[in-house]
Chains A and B, each alone.
Chain A
Amino acid sequence: MNRLNKTSIFFLVGAVLVFGIVQALISAGIINSFWSTIVLLAGVMAIVSLGLNLIYGFNGQFSLGQYGFYAIGAYTAADITYRWVQLHSASGLTVILMISILVGLAIFLIRGVVSKIRGMDTLSAFALYLAGVLVAIFIATRLGMLIANPVTALFNLMPEKVAQYVVYLIAVLLGGLIAGEVSFLFGLPVLTLGSDYFGIATLGFTIIVKVLLDNSDTMLGFDEMKGARGMIGIPKITTWATVFIFLLITIIVIRNLLNSSYGRAIVSIREDETAATSMGIDVAFYKTITFVIGSFFGGLAGGLYAHINGFLHPNTFSFVKSFDPLIVVVFGGLGSVTGTVGAAFGWALVLEGVLRLILPEGFETWRFVIYPTLLLIMMLLKPNGLFGNYEIPFIRSVVPPLKEKKADEETAKEVA
C-alpha cells in the first residue's frame, strides 16, 4: 500500500506549513481577533461543506439538511461544556455519552434483527428503530445521571484547564455522534425518496430543528439553551489548532473513505443508481452510511462553531442560512474536496471579512446586495464551480473526478 508516498508527504508538509504560518501570524498579532475569528469560521464552514460534499457531491443525494445536523452538533456540544463550566457538573457529558452509546447499541442490535428478516418495509423498520431508540434514551438519561457525580469527581482530579479542554473535545465528538445517529434515524425512511423530494424533506428537517431550538427551553425542557433568546455562557475555547486538526482529519478521512471499496460504491451510486444496483451494490446501505458520515462532520463542525463566539442562537440555523454549505459546495465544484475547502475559505473571507471592511459608513446594508450579485456573476461565469474538478495531487490520486460533461449528459438523457 502507498501509505507514505511522495504526494502524502507533500500534503502533510504543506498542511503543517499552512498551519504554522497562520498560527504564527495569529500569535504575532498580525492577524487580529476579527480576522482570526473569520479564519475559524472558514475552517468550520469547510468541515460542514465537506460533509455535504460527501453526501451531495460524491453520493448524489441532494441534501438541504446539513445545517440541521450542524445545529444539533452545536447545541449538543454547547450543552455539555456549558454544564461543565457554569454548573461544574459532568452531567451533560455523561448523559449525552450514555445516549450516544446506548442509541448506537440499539441501532446495531435492531439492525441485526432487521437484516435477518426478509422483505421488511422501510416504515416498519423505522418504527422498530424509533421504539428502540426511545427506550435507549430513556435508560441512558437515568444511567447518565447516576454516573454524573463520580465522573465529575474524576475530571476534578485533572488541572482545570486540561479538564475543560478534554470535556470540550469529547463534547465536539459527541455532537458529531449525536448528529450522525439522528441522521441515521431520519435518513432511514427519507432516503427512499427521489432526489428532489429528499432535498425538500431534509429542508423540512432543518426547519423542524430550528423550531425545536426556538422552543428548547419551554418544550424540550433544556433551560440552559434559553430557546429563542439565544444560549450564552459557552466557553470560547475553539482555537485555530483545533479547527485545523479537525479539518485535516476530515480531509484525510474523506480521502481514505473514497479510496476504499465503500468509496467506490458511494461514487458509483452517484454515477448511475440502476447500474450500481445491478452490480450488487446495496444502494440503501451506502446511501445511509454516506448520509450518516456527512452529517457526523456537520455535527462535529457545529461543536467547533459553538465554542468560537460562545453564543448560539437558533436564527444561525434558519433555513435561509442552511443554503450556505450548499453554495460553498457548488462554488468549489461538486465532488471536489480541494474546491470545497478553497471555496469555504474564500466565501468566509469575502462575505464576513472583505465586504464588511470595504463598505463605507452607512452602506453596511449593501453587503447582502453585493453578495448575491457576486453569487450570480460567479454562477453565470463558472456554472461548474470555481475549481471545476481540480484536485490537489494528494486527493487526485484517489478521487474519481466528476465527469466533465454532466450537463450534456442530462440533456442527452432528456433527448433519449
Chain B
Amino acid sequence: MERKNQNPIVNWIVKSKILGILFFVIIGATAVFKLGTALLDNPSLFLQQVVNGLQLGFVYALIALGYTMIYGIIQLINFAHGDVFMVGAFASFYSISRYNVHLWFQNLFPSVPAMLAQAIGAVTVVLVSMVVCALLAFTIERIAYKPLRTAPRISALITAIGISFFLEYFGALGFVFTPNYITYERPFEVTSWYIGPEGFGSIQAGVATPPHSLIFSNIFLIIVLASVFLLLVLQYIVKRTKIGKAMRAVAYDKPTARLMGINSDAVISITFALGAALAGAAGVLYAIAYPQVFFSMGIIPGMKAFVAAVVGGIGSIPGAFIGALIMGQAETLSAAYISTPMRDAIAFSLLIVVLLIRPKGIMGETSSEKV
C-alpha cells in the first residue's frame, strides 16, 4: 500500500519522477547539443568519425560475443578473454612474419590472380589465429574453470584473473612473445578510397584528395564484412544447429539439460572454443587496423568489449553487437568532440547510465529475478 504525500506538489514530483528524468535529460541534451553542433559544423569530419567508430565497434563486437556467450552459459566474467584476443593477434603476427602463411597460395599456384591469392592467404591467417585461440581457450577451460564448476562462483572469477595475468606476463617473457611493442606486418596492401560531393575515387600518393569527402580503406570494408559474416555464422550455429540448441539449453537450465542427455561439460568447452575463435579473428582484424602488437594489448579492448556486452545485455548475441557498435561510436565521438583523455571515463559513464535506465542492458531480459 503506497500512501500519498500530503502536499500535491510533492506528490506530483514523486509520481512523475521528474527530478530523475530531468537529470538524464540534462546529460542527454548536453551530449546531443555537442554532437549536433559538431555535425552541422563539419559534416564530413563527423561522418569520418562515425566510420572510424564503426571500424572499432565491429572489432569490439567480435570480442564482446565471446564474453556474452560465456557469461550466458556459466555466469562467469571471463577476464582472460581479452588476453586470448592478444594471443590471436600474436599468432597472426608470427604466422605472417615468420612462416609466411599469407603467401602459401601465391607460392603454390603462381598463375592465380594476385588479388585472389592474397585474399585466400589473409583468410588462412585469420583461420590459423582462430584455431590457435580456440585450442587455447579449450585448454584454459579444462585446467582452470572445469574443476571449479561446483565451487563458489567467485573462485572461477579469481582463476580467470589469474589466467589473464599468466597469459600477459608469460607472453611478455623474451622467448615467448616479447615485452616490446612490435610493428605488425599486414598480409595485404592497404588501399583507400574517398567518397563525397566530388564523386568517388581511389586515393593515390601525390594526388590531393578532394575536400569534404569521406575516406575509407579496404581495412574498414574487410573488418565490417568479416565481422558481419562471423556474426551470421555464429547466429546460424546457435539458432540452427544441434550444438547450438544444446548451448541454449545449458544456458537456460543446466541441471535439466543434463537430465535430457546433454553433455553439459562438452557444450561449455565448445562455447569457450567458439568465443575464443571469434576473439582470435578480432585479434587479427584489430592488429591489421591498428598495426602494433604487444603483450598487454588485450586489456583495454577486452574491457571495452566486455562493457559493450553488458550495455547490450549480457547473454544476448544481438545485444553484444549493438552494444559494441554503441561503444565504438562513444569512444571515437567523445575522443573527437569532448575530450581525448576522458574517452575511457565517458565510455564507462555511459555504461553506468545505461544500467541505471535498463538494469539488464539494452537487449537484456527485463523479467524480474527469480525469488
Contact = CB atoms under 8 A, between A and B. Distances in A.
B77 interface: yes
Interface residues of A, number: 63
A97 B319 CA distance: 46
Interface string A208-252: 100110110011000000000000000000000000000000000
Interface in A120-167: 120-128, 130
B105 interface: no
> DSSP class of A's interface residues: helix, strand, loop or mixed?
helix
A208 B155 contact: no
B27 to A, nearest CB: 10
Contacts of A28: none
Contact of B22 (A127, A211, A371): A127
Nearest to B165: A372
Given A118-B3, A197-B359, A123 B254 contact: no
A122 B150 CA distance: 36
Interface string B146-158: 0110111111001
A65 B148 CA distance: 25
Contact of B154 (A193, A319, A334): A334
Interface stretch (A32-40, A281-289, A377-385): A377-385
Contact of A323 (B161, B170, B174, B303): B161
Nearest to B296: A320
Interface stretch (B127-135, B197-205, B336-344): B336-344
Most buried by B among A371, A380, A410: A380
A121 B17 CA distance: 7
B181 interface: no
Nearest to B75: A196
A201 B357 CA distance: 13
A203 to B, nearest CB: 8
B348 A274 contact: no
Given A201-B352, A365-B179, A369-B173, A376 B144 contact: yes
- Interface size of B as a range: 35 or more
A189 B17 CA distance: 14
Nearest to A186: B352
Interface in A270-319: 274, 319
29 contacts: A118-B3, A119-B2, A121-B17, A122-B20, A123-B356, A124-B18, A124-B20, A127-B19, A127-B20, A190-B352, A196-B75, A200-B306, A200-B355, A204-B348, A204-B349, A204-B352, A207-B348, A208-B345, A323-B161, A368-B168, A369-B166, A369-B169, A372-B169, A376-B159, A376-B163, A379-B148, A379-B162, A380-B144, A384-B151
Interface of A: 62, 117-128, 130, 189-190, 192-194, 196-197, 199-201, 204-205, 207-208, 211-212, 214-215, 218-219, 274, 319-320, 323, 326-327, 330-331, 334, 365-366, 368-369, 371-373, 375-376, 379-380, 383-384, 406-408, 410-411, 414-415
Given A124-B17, A208-B345, A211-B342, 9 more contacts: A130-B23, A194-B360, A197-B359, A219-B341, A326-B161, A327-B161, A369-B169, A380-B159, A383-B151
Interface of B: 2-5, 10, 13-15, 17-24, 75, 77, 143-144, 147-148, 150-155, 158-159, 161-166, 168-170, 172-174, 179, 253-255, 299, 303, 306-307, 310, 314, 339, 341-342, 344-345, 348-349, 351-352, 355-356, 359-360, 369, 371
